[in-house]
Amino acid sequence: MRELELYFGPQHLGMVGNFSITLKVEGDRIINATANPGYLHRGFEKLMEYRTWMQNFPLVCRINVVEPDHMELIYSMGVEKLANIEVPERGKFIRSIYCELARVGSHLFGLWAYSNMLGFDTAANWAMYHRDLVLDLFEELTGARVYHIYIRPGGVRRDFPEGFEDKIVKTLHSIGGKVPDYNATFFENRLFEKRAKNVGKITREQAIKMGAVGHAIRATGMKYDIRKIEPYAAYDKVEWDVPTREGGDAYSRLLAIRDEMIESVHMIFKLIDKMPKKGDVFTKTPNPFKWRIPAGEAYVRCESSRGELGLYIVSDGGDKPYRVHFRTPSYSHGLTILEKALEGESIADVGNIMISLYVVAPEIDR
Amino acid sequence: MSETSFLNPFKAIKYLFEKPKTLRYPFELKEPALRYRGFHLNDWDKCTGCGNCADICPNEAIEMVKIPELESKPEEGIKDERPKLDYGRCCFCGLCVDICPPGSLSLTRDYFHIHFDTDTFKFIPKDEKLDKETFVPAEKYSVLKASLSLRKRDYQGFSPELKYALFEPERVEMPQVSPEKRKLSFIEQVIGYNKDEAKQEAGRCLECKLCEEACPAHLKISEYIDAIYRDEPKESLEKIYEDNPIPSICGRICMKHCEDACSLRIRGDALAIRWLKRYAADQIKNFKEELEIHPGEPTGKKVGIIGAGPSGLSLAYFLRLQGHKVVVYDELPGGGGAIRTGPPTYRLPLEAIDKDVNYIESLGVEFKFNTKVGGDIEFEKLLNDYDAVFIGIGTTIGFSTRVKNSEKCILALDFLKDNKIGEQRKVGKEVIVIGGGNVAMDVARETIRLQHIQYPDEKVITKTVSLEDWDELPATEEEVEEAKEEDVQFNPAWGPKEVVLDENGNIKGLLCKKVKSVFDEKGRFAPTFYEDKTKFLQGDMIIEAIGQRADFSFLPDELSDKLEFTERKKVKVDENGMTSIPKVFAGGDIVNINLDAVTAIADAKIAAQGIDKYLKK
């Protein structure tokens, strides 16, 4: 047989996002895959060195289009750690609720992308509609649908509007009520099982070795979740569980995502119950024009919807960060793990595997 | 989990009978949320043009543009500039809304603008009050026509709320001696910030520089405040010295025009600029040893200055830095002029004055105290001996009310001067102060103290009578408030009619008449009274504090005739500070109408340049 080199993306129809993979194929089988990132490099880490501590938080959210919220969170957490700022109790709960909503919204988006890719358009359209309901909540809370620019260093920018908790509960109930239908059309659909099972399989050893995080590692049966390991915001204030799956293939990754969404919704209900009813939502930070943070460095991490998200941030005592570096989950998922998972698979499953790993291209390049 | 099946998906068939969820835009619309961050809205009446929105914008989408039809009012902290948005850059983060000190900027819930011309995306936001054409009522609005030039009225979204603002509206409270304690002695009332307090207060400054335009002497306020914030008091003081050589004095008694213009004052407290200046001056214990300011290369020119008040002192300093030789004459035993005799010790101790004066002296300025020009030395001699002469004599003669028996009264300036640098006056138990200005407040508050010192544990009363009513009192609000705290009684809107004497010729009280109006329709001082409405105020001592004038008797007649005055009876000077007499310059209270130290410094700055130019001719 003759080996062929195939350029998959960024213009390829089966590609989601500005990303490309060079495939070496023999017939329909992939012998070797090389990821080519760089189509979305906007130089965020450099841009941040030119903006003050306060000016940066509207910028960071743009690193990840799908789920900007955890970017805001991680930046704020980094600044808070450097400047030694404590977030008020209510602010912490709001952050957790907000981030779990973001996780649900983001996973619904991922579910859309995945089911759409496999041709399950019914479930895809539902997911998109339900994500819109979550965006409605964000719009009401923050004033924007996608780039919320809501979590600021010190806390969050605005308190919940009147009666917002009830609206969250109502919306989540209406989405949660559709879980049986999602199961029927997608998760318990034999076609999905046929397409996804044993596809893009990675073992737990490989996952650990190659830096898999989030649902990718939880789908290999490992309970790895930063919210549990290193609780931040209000995640240590309520009881919740880390759902895992065995198998390490696209099928178990998707089921892990579904379980995670359900767990998030339950967690939001518990958080709303336990949240202090009154209080500050942010700690006053110094005047943004004069804010200088003592020299030092910090590494913080949180669990985004794609997995562990890290931030290394350095201050030289000035009014701007000296250096910022993001450790994004899509970086390992999209480069090393994807290359490994694609080996021996068919060309038709490239999108399947890539989206099951939830690779978000802008996050790789930054 | 149940088994997967090929048949499961058919359960979704029931959805065929449901209504579609998709909105049929534009026939079905979705109302944006109440906090929606759409296009900007700016209330021009509230906007001060401070430019903080442009400074915070992470994308540099906002630029401040001059609006020709607007008027710049630096003394009120209002600029003729308004923000202009570039929606090609704006990311709708709303930081501009959260930093806006007056709260004029907000975001609306509309976000439609479609145009082929990219220039239309640059846009100066206004609001419905100002721009009735763009902002139309809901019934005239349609998304099909919506754009930046057709927007819906009363459609505010993300709005400025003080509790979420990015600045700190509240001032760090200045520690002060309590009224009960301070009225018993002449202890300095204001204690001064400590390092942490000063840094915290300095940290509130937004660096919009409205204050610098309002300050008559245009001090580089934001820079010296920033130096305090960075804990560099020496750098801060040197910055102050560039424009103001009497920081210890001004840090205590400046009329703080800057704080009236501070953009933070609109929704909170103005930055405590005066107290921060005082902090910088107090931090440096020995100006001479620590400051790196040096006199200029000698020019061989000599300038004589009459009066060691704020204008004379400042001019001496500025000229010295230019290298000229300077001699200052004053009839008082020390520097400061009116500042030395007027402001009571609880506001301005002599040590603070001497600290500034001594530093100016250490730079090589020669002071001749206890030397009265026109007495100890003739003015003509100065004119002959020096290459230029500056008159900064201030106003030293107090006015009297000239009502019946007013010769029994005491004049405020003499009273204050004796208490400060002479022998303390004996006061009555019930004292009436005529006047409603700052001098009257000084007199009344000094009287209260003297009464408590001289009559311990006895009932004592001090009351003021002023033509002006509460809302038009010329004294600063702060002074009036503090006087009230010290139990000074007020009788606003009453005018003196007659000083009533008892059979021994001693003062028994003051008969007052009700004031009809203080100013005429042109705003000039022309009081009118209800002659029939009178009130008798009991008292055994009356002090008149109703104004003062300059004493030009030292000028020989031929020069006195040549000296020109303005309509407001001020000495006329040209743009170089020169009077109508060649080589004679003037400044301070005899020239400006503000009658305060910082304006005197401003005059001195003008004169310093004028004299330098004149001497180099």
Q: How far is A32 from chain B (nearest CA, A)?
A: 32
**Any chain A CB within 8 A of the CB of B55?**
yes
**Taking CA atoms, what residue in B is nearest to A290?**
B203
Residue B474, in any domain of the structure: yes
CB within 8 Å: B205 and A59: no
CA distances from A144 to A58, A68, B23, B478 (A): 12, 12, 19, 45
pLDDT in tens, B25-60: 888 888 888 889 989 989 888 899 898 999 999 989
How much is the pLDDT for A311? 92
Same-domain pairing of B202 and B233: yes
| Residues from chain B contacting residue A183 (CB–CB below 8 Å) | 8
Q: pLDDT (tens digit, 9 = 90+) per residue, A232-274?
A: 888 888 888 888 888 888 889 999 999 999 999 999 999 999 9
Asked if B252 and B347 count as a contact pair (C-beta separation under 8 A), the reply is yes
- From chain B, the residues in CB contact with A156 under 8 A are none
Domain of residue B141, CATH code: 3.30.70
Alpha-carbon span A140 to A138, nearest angstrom = 5
The residue segments making up the domain with residue B67 are 40-164
Give yes or no for A167 touching B (CB within 8 A). no
* Reported pTM: 0.84
The verdict on B502 and B514 lying in the same domain is yes
Q: Check residue A265 and give its pLDDT.
A: 92
- Examine residue B32 and state whether it is found in any structural domain, yes or no: no
pLDDT band at A5 (very low <50, low <70, confident <90, very high): confident
Is A139–B3 a contact, with Cβ atoms under 8 angstroms apart? no
Q: What per-residue confidence (pLDDT) applies to A169?
A: 92
Q: Are the C-beta atoms of B336 and B312 separated by less than 8 Å?
A: no
Let me know whether B238 and B263 are in one domain: yes
Residue type present at position B214? A
Residue among A57, A191, A289 with most chain B CBs within 10 A, to mutate: A289
Q: Is there a contact between B204 and A141 if contact means CB atoms under 8 Å apart?
A: no
Chain centre distance of CA A73: 12
Distance between CA A275 and CA A238 in Å, rounded?
10
CA distance B148 to B337: 60
Tell me the residue length of chain B: 617
* End position of a domain, from candidates B164, B198, B229: B164
Please tell me the predicted confidence (pLDDT) of residue A195. 86
Query: Which chain B residues are Cβ-neighbours of A290 within 8 angstroms?
Result: 203, 205, 207, 226, 229
Residue B9 within any structural domain of the chain: no
Interchain pair A122, B94: CB under 8 A? no
The partner residues of A325 in beta bridges, in order of sequence, read A312
Per CB-CB distance under 8 Å, the chain A contacts of B37 are 142-144
The pLDDT of A220-240, averaged and rounded, is 88
Q: Identify the structural domains of chain A with CATH numbers, from first to last.
A: 43-329 (1.10.645.10)
Chain B segment 321-380 residues within 8 A of A by beta carbon are: none
Same domain assignment for residues B408 and B540: yes
Q: How many domains does chain B have?
A: 4
Residue-level pLDDT at B62: 92
Task: Show residues of chain B in contact with A282, CB under 8 Å.
Answer: 164
Give the residue carrying structure tokens 């260093």: A153
Lowest mean pLDDT among A75-89, A127-141, B3-17, B477-491: B3-17
Is residue A343 a contact partner of residue A32, using CB atoms and an 8 Å limit? yes
Contact B11 A184 (CB under 8 A): yes
Residue B6 and residue A189: Cβ atoms within 8 Å? yes
- Contact of A182 with chain B, judged by CB distance below 8 Å, is answered with no
Sign of the Cα pseudo-torsion (B262, B267, B272, B274, in order)? positive
Q: Domain boundary residue among B132, B164, B196? A: B164
Q: Which chain A residues are within 8 Å of B229, Cβ to Cβ? A: 290
For residue B490, being part of any structural domain is answered with: yes
Quote the percentage of chain A above a pLDDT of 70. Answer: 99
Interface check A287 vs B, CB under 8 A? yes
The answer to whether the beta carbons of residues A251 and A352 sit under 8 Å apart is no
Say yes or no: B35 contacts chain A, CB-CB below 8 A: yes
Are A289 and B164 a contacting pair at CB < 8 A?
no
Both tokens assigned to B578: 């020169």
Which chain B residues have a beta carbon less than 8 Å from that of A185?
8-9, 11-12
Query: Which among B8, B56, B229 has CB closest to A55?
Result: B56
Between B107, B161, B166, which is nearest A54 by CB?
B166
Q: Strand, coil or helix: what is B120? A: helix
Q: B396 Cβ partners below 8 Å, 6+ apart?
A: B338, B413, B548, B550, B551
- Do B524 and B577 lie in one domain? The reply is no
B11 touches A at CB < 8 Å: yes
Given a contact cutoff of 8 angstroms between Cβ atoms, the answer to whether A283 and A155 are in contact is yes
pLDDT tens digits, residue range B371-428?
888 888 888 888 888 888 998 888 888 888 888 888 888 888 888 888 888 888 888 8
Retrieve residue B5's tokens: 């099946």
For A:102-161, CB contacts with B below 8 A are 122, 129, 136, 139-144, 147, 149, 157-158, 161
Indicate whether B58 belongs to any domain. Answer: yes
Mean per-residue pLDDT for A184-192? 86
**pLDDT tens digit sequence for B157-214:** 888 888 898 888 889 888 888 888 888 888 888 888 888 899 889 989 998 888 998 8
Mark yes or no for CB contact B2/A188 under 8 Å. yes
In the predicted model, what is the mean pLDDT of chain A? Answer: 88
Which of A147, A190, A284 is nearest residue B5 as measured by Cβ atoms?
A: A190
Does residue B365 fall inside a structural domain? yes
In a shared domain, residues B478 and B515:
yes
Percentage of residues in chain A with pLDDT exceeding 90? Answer: 26
* Same structural domain, B408 and B509: yes
Asked whether residue B238 falls in the same domain as residue B216, the answer is yes
DSSP per residue, B421-449: HSPPPP--SEEEEE--SHHHHHHHHHHHH
Nearest to A181 among B5, B12, B206 (CB): B12
Q: What is the pLDDT of residues B70-120, one digit of tens each?
A: 888 888 888 888 999 998 889 898 899 999 999 899 999 888 888 888 888
Torsion of CA B144, B147, B153, B158, to 10 degrees: 110
The mean predicted confidence, pLDDT, of chain B is: 87
Pull the structure tokens for residue B100.
């806006």
Same domain, B391 and B401: no
Q: Alpha-carbon distance B134 to A226, whole Å?
A: 51
Residues B431 and B509 in one domain: yes
pLDDT score for B498:
86
Put simply, the answer to whether B34 touches A286 (Cβ < 8 Å) is no
Please indicate whether, in this complex, the C-beta atoms of B92 and A59 are within 8 angstroms of each other.
no
Say yes or no: B32 contacts chain A, CB-CB below 8 A: yes
Contact A143 B206 (CB under 8 A): no
Interval B595-611 mean pLDDT: 89
Q: Provide the shortest C-alpha distance from residue A157 to chain B (in Å).
A: 7
Residue B395: per-residue pLDDT: 87
Instruction: Report the b/e string of B232-256 with b at 16+ CB within 10 A.
Output: bbebbbbbbbebbbbbbbbbbbbbb
pLDDT at A118 > cutoff 90 = no
Q: Please, are residues A100 and A268 in contact by the beta-carbon 8 Å criterion?
A: yes
pLDDT in the model for residue A362: 84
Q: Which residues, at least 6 apart from B362, have a Cβ–Cβ distance to it below 8 Å?
A: B287, B288
Q: Which residues of A touch B167 (CB under 8 A)?
A: 287
Query: What are the tens digits of pLDDT across the range B426-445?
Result: 888 889 999 888 889 999 99
CATH of the domain at B244: 1.10.1060.10
**How would you class B40 by CB atoms within 10 Å of its CB: exposed for 0-12, middle for 13-18, buried for 19 or more?**
buried
Residue B1 has pLDDT above 70, yes or no: no
Interface check A174 vs B, CB under 8 A: no
* CATH number of the domain bearing residue B390: 3.50.50.60
Per residue in B359-370, pLDDT (tens digit) is 988 888 889 989
Tell me if B34 is assigned to some domain: no
Considering the domain boundaries, does residue B502 fall inside one?
yes
User: Which of these three, B270, B290, B310, is where a domain ends?
Assistant: B290
Backbone angles phi, psi at A65, to 5 degrees: -70, -35
Segment A282-326, tens digit of pLDDT: 888 888 888 888 899 999 999 998 888 999 999 998 889 999 999
Residues B445, B427: Cα–Cα separation, whole Å: 12
Distances (CA, A) of B371 to A82, A169, A265, B103, B355: 62, 86, 88, 55, 21
> Are B535 and B416 in a shared domain?
yes
**Residues 39 through 68 of chain A touching chain B, CB cutoff 8 Å:** 51, 54-56, 58-59
Q: Are residues B364 and B419 in the same domain?
A: no
Nearest Cβ partner of B4 from A59, A189, A287? A189
pLDDT band (50, 70, 90) for residue B2: low
Which positions in chain B touch A136 (Cβ < 8 Å)? 33
pLDDT at B551: 86
Tens digit of pLDDT for each residue in A264-284?
999 999 999 998 888 888 888
pLDDT band at A1 (very low <50, low <70, confident <90, very high): low
